[in-house]
Amino acid sequence: MQEKKYKWRREDYQEKTRGLLMVHTGNGKGKTTCALGLMMRAAGRGLKCCMIQFMKSRNDRYGEHVSAEKLGIEVHTMGDGFTWDTKNPEQDIKTARETWALCVEKLRSGDYDLLVFDELVYVLSYGMLPVDEVLEEFGAIRAAQPALHIVVTGRDAPPELIVAADLVTEMTEIKHPFTSGIRAQQGIEF
């Protein structure tokens, strides 16, 4: 079978593309996994992709990091470790602010076709960043870079984010192995 060769130029792609704001939310598993799959598809088409993770610990190396490197996908893991029962809210807000500053830098650079802000929804729903500030930045960037796709993930997406989005997918938990005593597994959860 002969492989098809794609004639691809970023300028042509950007002229023909309307960037989307996509939200993956809900209590079910698969929000980050879905975003990773989308980045894999985009990278396969030659698009420049970057993921910034808000909550996952910057001290850990996850399976997606290894795969992303092989595909030329940039990943920045900025968190102090996932928690919804924080012992240090001031530190969590500081980390969220630092991570959002990196997001703004990447948004404004004009270097990307797809940006994923993994777990940003948690930061918004916990009040660590104001929703209005994030939506204002998204609006300005989308006006300046109409071909840029933005994906945000996390449970409990604020209504304002849902209204602003072009695509919202809610992951619904029907059954999860954790309820049967099966712990998180390498290659599935991390």
Q: What is the pLDDT of residue 189?
A: 73
Q: What is the pLDDT of residue 2?
A: 56
Average of per-residue pLDDT across 58-86: 81
Domains of the chain: 18-170 (3.40.50.300)
3-state secondary structure of 99: helix
Interior angle at CA 144, CA 113 and CA 65, nearest 5: 25
Average of per-residue pLDDT across 37-51: 94
One-character DSSP codes across 107-162: HHH---SEEEEETHHHHHHTTSS-HHHHHHHHHHHHHH-TT-EEEEE-SS--HHHH
Q: What is the pLDDT of residue 57?
A: 74
Best-predicted range by mean pLDDT (3-17, 52-66, 160-174):
160-174
Please tell me which residue, 137 or 182, carries the higher pLDDT value. Answer: 137
Average of per-residue pLDDT across 157-185: 90
108-127 residue pLDDT tens = 999 999 999 999 999 999 99
C-alpha span between 163 and 174 (Å, rounded) = 26
Q: How many CB atoms lie within 10 A of CB 74?
A: 16
Average of per-residue pLDDT across 55-71: 82
Please tell me which residue, 42 or 182, carries the higher pLDDT value. Answer: 42
Q: Which helix (H) or strand (E) holds 93?
A: helix 89-109
For residue 129 the two structure tokens come to 């960043």
For residue 3, pLDDT beyond 60 = no
Q: What percent of the chain has pLDDT over 70?
A: 91
- Average predicted confidence (pLDDT) for the chain: 89
Q: What is the pLDDT of residue 5?
A: 57
Burial class (CB in 10 A: 0-12, 13-18, 19+), 107: buried
C-alpha pair distances (Å), 91 with each of 67, 97, 98: 30, 10, 10
